[in-house]
Structure 1
Amino acid sequence: NGTPQSSPLYPKARDVLQSLWARPEYLLGVATGKSRRGLDILLDKHGLRDYFITAQCADVHPSKPHPAMLQAALAETGIAAKNAVMIGDTQFDMEMAGAAGVHAIGVTWGYHEVDRLVCADYIANDFVQIPSILNTLWQEAA
């Protein structure tokens, strides 16, 4: 039902989101299979709405792995695909990233097992690994 109790944050999620949001070179967005209503409830209940400058939902885009959600987020933010990253927990997230031409970080604490995240450029086993993976990714891309 979108309450913090029914949809808890993963450990360290808030800390990592706060640290990424605080970096002016990062713009955060959401591309989710949730409905707009479901996402709005979740973001509001956890006090996360202000972290994200774009939020793309399944009720206005084709389902993942179609790249439309990421393409809309890129268009809304003015970010080039080569400068964007999809962080996701499913094979469909990784395939969507590939279809949109963005980098992909698969996370092992979500819906799909790690062997289904083979399209990911990097794998994170813990939320706190994401900032260092992003640093590595951007160093390699430079």
Structure 2
Amino acid sequence: MSHLRLAVFDVDGTLVDSQHNIVSAMTEAWSNLNLGIPRPEQVRRIIGLSLVDACAVLLPWATPTTHRAVADAYKEAFRAMRLLPDTMEPLFPGVREALDRLEREGWLLGLATGKSRRGVDSMLQAHELEGRFVTIQTADDNPSKPNPSMLRRAAADCGLELNEIVMIGDTAYDMAMAAAARSAAVGVSWGYHSLDELQRAGAQVVLDTFDNLTEVLDAVTGEKAGDAQ
């Protein structure tokens, strides 16, 4: 085993509180296509999936052509929303401090998200986090979670084995992706899926805050970052 380890974070619901913007953009997309109005709780359930897959879950009766049309309308709505002054997606409490601690402990940092690369870049710029993540896996280049492609590519980017990666996320999709990759899985309780759903999907630990993240990651990997094996 290498002495390096990689902490891979989901974005929406794990690092940033984006539910208001996502629900608003999806509502506008449905309205523009005369599909009615989605229930906010429906939309929150699919956060974490890649966009077309999310639209297919929301509209199971619709055709793939409609799913793609809704996805395109959502992207347009979100692009317009980013130009407004009051659409910041705030970081959850403790995120920046947790990233700083992990880097001091020798962890590599990565992202695996259903967002587009444009969306990720916008978020990183808004929060001055550019350059913090050595691998960024998005919906642009990978199948939707829970397919393990994002973690496999993250491991390859860093020259690591999949058992040297921990996935940190707020949904069952994140936990199931880690299970499929045979990587460690840590859930967070402040996102969009319940504690029971996270545990059933494979979460080894579910955090209520990021305060003890480094200790939890050490526990689930059974070593200290930087320890030679």
Instruction: Between 47-56 and 29-38, report the one with greater CA deviation.
Output: 47-56
Q: Deviations over 1:73-122 (max 9, x none)?
A: 00000111111100000000000001111000011011111111011111
Paired residues of 2:184 and 2:221 also in contact (CA < 8 A): no
Aligned to 2:91, what secondary structure does the other structure show? coil
Name which structure has the greater RCO, CA cutoff 8 Å, separation 6+.
2
Aligned to 2:222, what secondary structure does the other structure show? helix
Q: How far apart are residue 15 of structure 1 and its match?
A: 0.5
Q: How far apart are residue 22 of structure 1 and its match?
A: 2.2
1:5-20 pair list within 5 angstroms: 6-20=88-102
1:28-67 pair list within 5 angstroms: 28-67=109-148
Paired residues of 1:18 and 1:51 also in contact (CA < 8 A): no
Q: Pairwise CA RMSD of aligned residues?
A: 2.0
Aligned to 1:103: 184
Q: Structure 1: which 5+ residue stretches go unaligned?
A: none
Aligned to 1:52, what secondary structure does the other structure show? coil
Paired residues of 2:109 and 2:133 also in contact (CA < 8 A): yes
Q: TM-score, normalised by structure 2?
A: 0.58
Q: How far apart are residue 4 of structure 1 and its match?
A: 8.8
Q: How far apart are residue 135 of structure 1 and its match?
A: 2.0
Of all paired residues, the percent bearing the same amino acid is: 43
Change (3 A) 1:106 1:122: same
Question: Which of 212, 218, 229 matches 1:129?
Answer: 212
Instruction: Between 82-91 and 3-12, report the one with greater CA deviation.
Output: 3-12
Aligned to 1:82: 163
Change (3 A) 1:4 1:101: farther
Q: TM-score, normalised by structure 1?
A: 0.91
Aligned to 1:71: 152
Q: How far apart are residue 138 of structure 1 and its match?
A: 2.9
Paired residues of 1:4 and 1:42 also in contact (CA < 8 A): no
Q: How far apart are residue 5 of structure 1 and its match?
A: 5.3
Aligned to 1:120: 203
Q: Which has the larger radius of gyration?
A: 2
Whether 1:138 and 2:228 are equivalent positions in the alignment is: no
Paired residue type of 2:126: K
Paired residues of 2:136 and 2:154 also in contact (CA < 8 A): yes
Q: How far apart are residue 49 of structure 1 and its match?
A: 1.9
If each structure's strand is expressed as a fraction of its own residues, which one has the higher value?
1
The size of the alignment, in residue pairs, is: 141
